[in-house]
Structure 1
Amino acid sequence: MTARVLVVDDILANVRLLEAKLAAEYFDVVTAMNGADALEAVQRTKPDIVLLDVMMPGIDGIEVCRRIKSNPATQHIPVIMVTALDQPEDRVRGLEAGADDFLTKPVNDVALFCRVKGLVRLKMLTDELRNRLAADPMGLPSPDLSGVAAAGGRILLLDNNSAIAERIRTSLSKQHEVTLVDDPQKAVEAFGAAQGGFDIIIVNLDIEGADGLRICSQLKSVETTRQTPILIIVDPEDHQRLLRALDMGVNDYLIRPVDKQELAARVATQIRRHRYTEQLRLTVRASMEMAVTDALTGLYNRRYLETQLTQLIEQSANRGKLLSLLTLDVDFFKSVNDTYGHDAGDRVLQEVAGRIRGSVRGQDLACRTGGEEFVVVLPGADLSTAERVGERIRKTIAAKPFLLGPGSHLTITASIGVASLASPQDTVEDLLKRSDQALYRAKREGRNRVVPAAA
């Protein structure tokens, strides 16, 4: 795994030791010897992760972490606090400053590479999502990690040792909702039954009567649980299974006996990161939808129509398949706006879009191309089939009056032109031009009718 690691410590021997270990695993290592230099290095080198000593003169590690996490430009960079004091209060201070994880000196190699690789892997995912948003023409902002709360999480605990499981459940239930499952076969079922899923899954790797590694593998292979962080509980000597679990994508681990403070800290970190990543995913999805859909009606927009229609025409030409489209225009729409106002006009367009959507197949492409004009692409349909679909849409629009306001109804009609691919040489412009010409004929001949393009 290639990533840039910033190592910060005021003792040169500690810096050189961590630098050597990380360089041996092919990490690009940057170093700093004090807090001020660390903050400058974060801005200059843009590290993928920071290993930060807590006890330093001047600006200590807690304050450096706080400044990194309070800056929107750097708050997504994971910070691991490295401390010689394994005290709960140190962890609490670090968490309050925004630290993502902790390591205790002398640093154990397994713990070091587990924490670093896990957090770097997660940062790479968030970087990809952030880059998509940065390139988004809609300009939607990235979520703010500092505003993501870790409290009130939903936890799935998989363990059939009742005594240990109950202690964990009791400890976490003060801040979170914990669902305890003692049968591995029911874990995915419990996930599906939970409204909105879980924020984290905790697995006892030594669960009785089952293979803990296989459970983790199954959870990572199922669509519903693939993105949910997994925290495992292992014995101190179980290094081999721990490494295998980390290789398959397990996010974090706890060594027995489980410290309640560390349990709470690691659960909070994973929940916070998971929620931030999910917010990023949702924002990216929303930006993609906004880029291809019409904001008023929810149908696809002209840009998406032209892109998809180009591909559909190429596929139809190459495979000899049929393709038709309808161009629809709401009759006398200007008078609706002039008489009842633009709000009423918008409601008419939304209702027209809904009636179109309810009259076509899932594979058909319904678009609003501007104003009161709509286009419906019908893959696999010949001209006569497309005419029947157009007639169904026309009747659906005309059959029921549109509600414009309390006690105000208006009958709306539409004119529709129909065209089909005529030859393998047809282009998007050719097809749209013929359907437009058929639409103009429909309007000239009295509106509220479906007219096919001339042969």
Structure 2
Amino acid sequence: MTARILVVDDIAANLKLLEARLTAEYFDVITAATGQEALDVCARAQCDIVLLDVMMPGMDGFEVCRRLKADPQTHHIPVIIITALDQPSDRLQGLEAGADDFLTKPVADIALMARVRSLTRLKMLGDELRLRAQTTREIGMSDALIAAIADTGRDGRVLVVDDRESSSERIALALEGEQTVEIEGDPQEALFRVAEGDFDVVIVALSLENYDALRLCAQIRSLERTRMTPVVLIAAPDQNARVLRGLEVGVNDYLIRPVEPNELKARIRTQVKRRRYTDRLRSNLQNSMELAVTDGLTGLHNRRYMETHLQSLIDQAVSRDRPLSALVVDIDYFKRVNDTYGHDGGDEVLREFSRRLKASVRGIDLACRLGGEEFVVIMPETDAAVARVVAERIRTKCSATRFELGRGARLLDVTVSVGVASLNGPQDEAATLLKRADVALYKAKAEGRNRVVADAA
């Protein structure tokens, strides 16, 4: 896994040592000797992760970390504080400043690399989601980032998986008042609870009896519903090798017993915030995908979606020797509506027509707005005779009840013309099917509008 690591330390020897260790593991390394220099590098989006010393002149590492996490442009960059400070209060201060981890010098190579790889993997996943969810805004100013900065990391749902009652109760007591904690003493039942419970964090005791805790962690990572759920290990001091293995299988964080309550709370808050941030990114991505294939005015699928899926529906119908039909629908004299009532009035007609159209077709039918006042309905498993019945239903739904404008202030007669075409055989393609339906539509208009005409081919 390649990544660009920013190492920040005012002592040149420390910079060279960390640079050599990271370069040997094939990371791309850049360095900074001051806090301001580090902030400038991060603002230019030139690194994937920051290794940050605390004791520096001018601006210390805690302040650098706070500024990085408060800035929407750099909030997402993981920060590991590496320092000679070893008091619990120092560790807590670093975590509360927003650091993703706090390591005390001297740090073993294997532990440092495992942590760097774990956080780099999470950061790259987040980068992919952020880029894919981007629409018209700058990524750094997205709603997800703004919310993440304001998030306190409290009021999450936490599942503790520990078969020792005294241990799980101590963890629950430490988190009381900040998180909603549930306890599961049966590791085999835990996976089902995680999958069904929508937890923000899962805490797993590494010393489970008669069950491999890392296997449970790997199973949580393998399920689609729980793949993004943060997992935190609670380990004994002699279980470092197992902790490193846990980081390799996807564990997000760990604590060594005896667990310091304030550090536990700080690390769980960090994981809750990360889970919520990821959920917001995924939600933004889903919304962006929906916007890309949906007509904003009517809520129907748009032309892009239809063009993408129509040929596959035709191929499926041909391979199964099943019928398929298409309707092209046009609102009659729509220009008069815009000229008389303005575009707001025209938009009201389009929205109301779309509601009536959706009410006239099945869930498996593909209803799309091509643009302007023209619409298409693709109907799998539908022959020409049934398609004509559906087209008449759409026409009647429009002509039988007048359209309301301005919340009932005006009533408007609206009619539609419909062209119908059905699949002729394996030689048919999307373009030819729609062309025949379009020709039938023009015939309906030529014959006086407010009527259905079927393709005679």
1:183 is matched with which residue? 186
1:126 is matched with which residue? 126
Aligned equivalents of 2:351, 2:384: Cα separation in 1: 27
**1:62 partnered with 2:62:** yes
Contact 1:154-1:178 at 8 Å conserved across structures: yes
The answer to which of 383-392 and 218-227 deviates more is 383-392
Q: CA deviation at 1:171?
A: 1.5
Percentage of identical aligned residues: 56
1:414 is matched with which residue? 416
TM-score, normalised to structure 1, is: 0.87
User: Structure 2 matches for 1:148-167, cutoff 5 A?
Assistant: 148-167=151-170
**1:201 partnered with 2:202:** yes
Aligned equivalents of 1:321, 1:98: Cα separation in 2: 59
**1:236 partnered with 2:237:** yes
**1:431 partnered with 2:433:** yes
Gaps of 5+ in 2: none
2:371 is matched with which residue? 370
SS in 2 for 1:156: strand
2:248 is matched with which residue? 247
Q: Deviations over 1:14-64 (max 9, x none)?
A: 333323332332222222333344334445671111100001122221222
Aligned equivalents of 1:287, 1:312: Cα separation in 2: 24
SS in 2 for 1:324: strand
The answer to which of 55-64 and 407-416 deviates more is 407-416
Q: CA deviation at 1:192?
A: 5.5
Q: CA deviation at 1:427?
A: 5.1
Quickly say closer, same or farther: Cα 1:36–1:411, change in 2 above 3 A: closer
The answer to which of 185-194 and 212-221 deviates more is 185-194
The residue type paired with residue 220 of structure 2 is: L
Aligned equivalents of 1:192, 1:432: Cα separation in 2: 45
2:51 is matched with which residue? 51
Q: CA deviation at 1:301?
A: 1.0
SS in 2 for 1:224: helix
2:16 is matched with which residue? 16
Q: CA deviation at 1:327?
A: 0.9
2:355 is matched with which residue? 354
1:146 is matched with which residue? 149
1:257 is matched with which residue? 258
SS in 2 for 1:374: strand
Q: CA deviation at 1:371?
A: 2.9
Aligned equivalents of 2:427, 2:110: Cα separation in 1: 62
What's the RMSD between the two structures over aligned residues? Answer: 3.1
Contact 1:9-1:53 at 8 Å conserved across structures: yes
SS in 1 for 2:226: coil
2:310 is matched with which residue? 309
Contact 1:103-1:111 at 8 Å conserved across structures: no
The answer to which of 260-269 and 36-45 deviates more is 36-45
Q: CA deviation at 1:99?
A: 2.1
Q: CA deviation at 1:438?
A: 1.4
Quickly say closer, same or farther: Cα 1:172–1:360, change in 2 above 3 A: same
1:442 is matched with which residue? 444
Quickly say closer, same or farther: Cα 1:408–1:188, change in 2 above 3 A: farther
The residue type paired with residue 250 of structure 2 is: G
SS in 1 for 2:125: helix
2:273 is matched with which residue? 272
User: Structure 2 matches for 1:65-104, cutoff 5 A?
Assistant: 65-104=65-104
Q: CA deviation at 1:339?
A: 6.8
Quickly say closer, same or farther: Cα 1:25–1:60, change in 2 above 3 A: same
Quickly say closer, same or farther: Cα 1:288–1:241, change in 2 above 3 A: same
The residue type paired with residue 76 of structure 1 is: H
Contact 2:416-2:450 at 8 Å conserved across structures: yes
Quickly say closer, same or farther: Cα 1:169–1:398, change in 2 above 3 A: farther
Aligned equivalents of 1:249, 1:168: Cα separation in 2: 22
The answer to which of 177-186 and 38-47 deviates more is 38-47
The residue type paired with residue 389 of structure 2 is: R
2:114 is matched with which residue? 114
The residue type paired with residue 50 of structure 1 is: V
Aligned equivalents of 1:129, 1:393: Cα separation in 2: 41
SS in 2 for 1:329: strand
The residue type paired with residue 214 of structure 2 is: L
Contact 1:138-1:291 at 8 Å conserved across structures: no
Contact 1:138-1:287 at 8 Å conserved across structures: no
Quickly say closer, same or farther: Cα 1:389–1:406, change in 2 above 3 A: closer
The residue type paired with residue 238 of structure 2 is: E
2:389 is matched with which residue? 388
Aligned length: 452
Aligned equivalents of 1:204, 1:219: Cα separation in 2: 14
Aligned equivalents of 2:79, 2:280: Cα separation in 1: 20
Aligned equivalents of 1:397, 1:160: Cα separation in 2: 65
Quickly say closer, same or farther: Cα 1:372–1:21, change in 2 above 3 A: same
Quickly say closer, same or farther: Cα 1:414–1:189, change in 2 above 3 A: farther
Aligned equivalents of 2:157, 2:118: Cα separation in 1: 21
Contact 1:329-1:374 at 8 Å conserved across structures: yes
Gaps of 5+ in 1: none
Quickly say closer, same or farther: Cα 1:96–1:214, change in 2 above 3 A: closer
**1:214 partnered with 2:191:** no
SS in 1 for 2:251: coil
Aligned equivalents of 2:87, 2:349: Cα separation in 1: 65
Q: CA deviation at 1:244?
A: 3.0
Q: Deviations over 1:52-82 (max 9, x none)?
A: 0001122221222233334433332111111
Contact 2:8-2:38 at 8 Å conserved across structures: yes
